[in-house]
Amino acid sequence: MTGDLNDYLRLWNLSDPELLARSPRGDVYGAYRNDEKVVLKLLTPIGVEDESDAVVALRYFDGHGAVRLLAEKMGAPVGRLRAFVFAYACLSASWPDKPEGSEVQRWFLTVARNAERHVDLSA
């Protein structure tokens, strides 16, 4: 995924990537876009299949009580990778009117917990 990472760093003008988490679903990097902290997630084919609903939810909520999707790219050059960039500061935002036990709710809670383990969200 290193080649893909460099492609997305150039595409979205990101700098200083730091690997935060790696899983069968993809790699999560902390980075900067201008002076804004962001998260870049490169999905593997498994991640594309498992997390497609989460991308739809991110688009729908547009940063209201959830992370804000800044950009996404479908059909990466190698494999079926998809990347999207989050507004980093929104990771700890509360989810308004969340349906209890929903798959999307569990997904956002997992993202927030993983981020809290790796970075200081208070900055």
Measured CA to CA, the distance from residue 85 to residue 108 in angstroms comes to: 14
Residue 123 in domain? no
Confidence band of 16 (pLDDT split at 50, 70, 90): very high
CATH of the domain at 67: 3.30.200.20
Query: What is the sign of the dihedral through the CA atoms of 86, 42, 104 and 59?
Result: positive
pLDDT at 121: 44
Question: By the 8 A CB rule, do 43 and 51 touch?
Answer: yes
Residue 114 in domain? yes
Measured CA to CA, the distance from residue 72 to residue 56 in angstroms comes to: 11
Residue 80 in domain? yes
pTM listed for this prediction = 0.56
Domain encompassing residue 64: 2-118
Residue 27 in domain? yes
Mean pLDDT calculated for residue range 38-42: 83
Residue 3 has pLDDT above 90, yes or no: no
Residue 20 in domain? yes
Residue 29 in domain? yes
Residue 62 in domain? yes
> What Å distances lie between residue 86 and 38, 59, 79, CA to CA?
5, 11, 22
Residue 101 in domain? yes
What is the domain count for the chain?
A: 1
Residue spans of beta strands (DSSP E) within the chain: 14-23, 26-33, 36-43, 69-73, 83-87
